[in-house]
């Protein structure tokens, strides 16, 4: 007799009858009125729930309020921040260590052996300021609230803020007439320098951060204006409106920074920098 695939009735497994989409909705949200047969208040389709849905499981608990969920996500990001920053900084330093000798540069205002080394230093400082900027943002948010304005951030947080501020200031100080910057990236450079000045302004308005900013911040705008105005002035060609706008912003930012240092604490520093 040929083999057959018929399974005896006594060995046949009885499956639980399937549930319709409406049954699942009623089980998940017994008190919610059914507005659409394939959607529920969470804005996700029911089909997304089916693969991992246990029909015998109890209904899920109500979601936490939005503010609570946002606070949990923010706390998770803060806990992961040191690991992420450490890894990115490690990769950046490895990149610098493997540069050819002709492209080596120091982390100060000294001239480099080659123009390529000076240009790569600018790229390095940009990356470094971005890597450590989340710490600066966290301190600015902390001090903007009246309840936490007088709190002093931990030393490791302040050191990370200083790394960001030093990178921004060195990025401005080390700007030179690199061929690529003058011929190609003048507009992008003006935007980058404006952003760096804004970061320094934000830090100079907070006492705990102002002491981390270098003295050169008081002459940074003059240095930028001398260079960018020269690059923007092309004989026979109109000036770039975007670059002119960046120059106006840099001048206004510098005015606010000078005001921050005109108090009792910063008066002698301004006098020393200006040579008076």
Residues 6+ apart with CB under 8 A from 171: 122, 125, 126, 129, 192, 193, 196
**Residue 194, Cβ neighbours under 10 Å: how many?**
19
Render pLDDT for 226-250 as a digit per residue (tens, 0 to 9): 989 888 887 777 888 898 999 999 9
Give the residues across from 39 on adjacent strands. Answer: 45
Residues 6+ apart with CB under 8 A from 187: 240, 242, 243
CA–CA distances in Å: residue 259 to residues 50, 205, 207, 255, 265: 62, 10, 14, 6, 12
Res 66: pLDDT: 63
Res 233: pLDDT: 81
Residue 13 to residue 6: CA distance in whole angstroms: 13
**89 burial via Cβ count (<10 Å: 0-12, 13-18, 19+):** middle
Closest CA to 132 of 109, 102, 165, 108: 165
Residue 187 to residue 24: CA distance in whole angstroms: 57
Give the residues across from 45 on adjacent strands. Answer: 39
Average pLDDT over the chain reads 76
Instruction: Count CA atoms within 13 Å of residue 83 on its CB side.
Output: 5
CB 31 within 8 A of CB 70: no
Residue 42 to residue 170: CA distance in whole angstroms: 49
For residue 239, what is the DSSP state? P
Q: How confident is the model at residue 180 (pLDDT cuts 50, 70, 90)?
A: confident
SS3 content of the chain, % helix, strand, coil (to 5): 65, 0, 35
Render pLDDT for 77-101 as a digit per residue (tens, 0 to 9): 667 788 889 999 999 999 999 999 9
Res 32: pLDDT: 43
Say if pTM beats, i.e. exceeds, 0.85: no
Res 172: pLDDT: 95
CA–CA distances in Å: residue 134 to residues 129, 130, 144: 9, 8, 15
């Amino acid at each position: 007799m040929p083999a057959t695939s018929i399974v005896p009735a006594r060995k046949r497994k009885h499956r639980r009858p399937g549930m319709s989409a409406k049954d699942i909705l009623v089980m998940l949200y017994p008190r919610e009125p059914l507005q659409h047969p394939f959607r529920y208040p969470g804005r996700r389709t029911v089909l997304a729930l089916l693969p991992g849905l246990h029909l015998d499981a109890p209904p899920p608990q109500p979601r936490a309020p939005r503010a609570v969920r946002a606070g949990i996500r923010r706390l998770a990001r803060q806990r992961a921040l040191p690991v992420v920053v450490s890894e990115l900084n490690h990769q950046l330093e490895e990149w610098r260590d493997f540069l050819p000798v002709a492209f080596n540069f120091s982390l100060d205002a000294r001239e480099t052996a080659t123009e390529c080394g000076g240009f790569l230093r600018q790229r390095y400082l940009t990356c470094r300021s971005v890597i450590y900027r989340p710490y600066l943002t966290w301190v600015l948010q902390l001090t903007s609230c009246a309840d936490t304005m007088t709190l002093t951030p931990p030393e490791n947080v302040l050191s990370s803020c200083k790394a960001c501020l030093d990178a921004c200031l060195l990025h401005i100080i080390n700007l030179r007439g690199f061929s690529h910057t003058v011929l190609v990236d003048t507009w992008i450079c003006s935007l980058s320098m404006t952003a760096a000045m804004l970061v320094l302004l934000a830090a100079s308005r907070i006492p705990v951060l102002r002491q981390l900013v270098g003295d050169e911040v008081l002459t940074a705008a003059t240095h930028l204006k001398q260079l960018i105005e020269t690059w923007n002035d092309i004989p026979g060609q109109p000036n770039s409106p975007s670059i002119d706008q960046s120059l106006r912003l840099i001048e206004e930012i510098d005015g606010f920074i000078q005001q921050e240092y005109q108090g009792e604490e910063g008066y002698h520093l301004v006098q020393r920098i200006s040579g008076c």
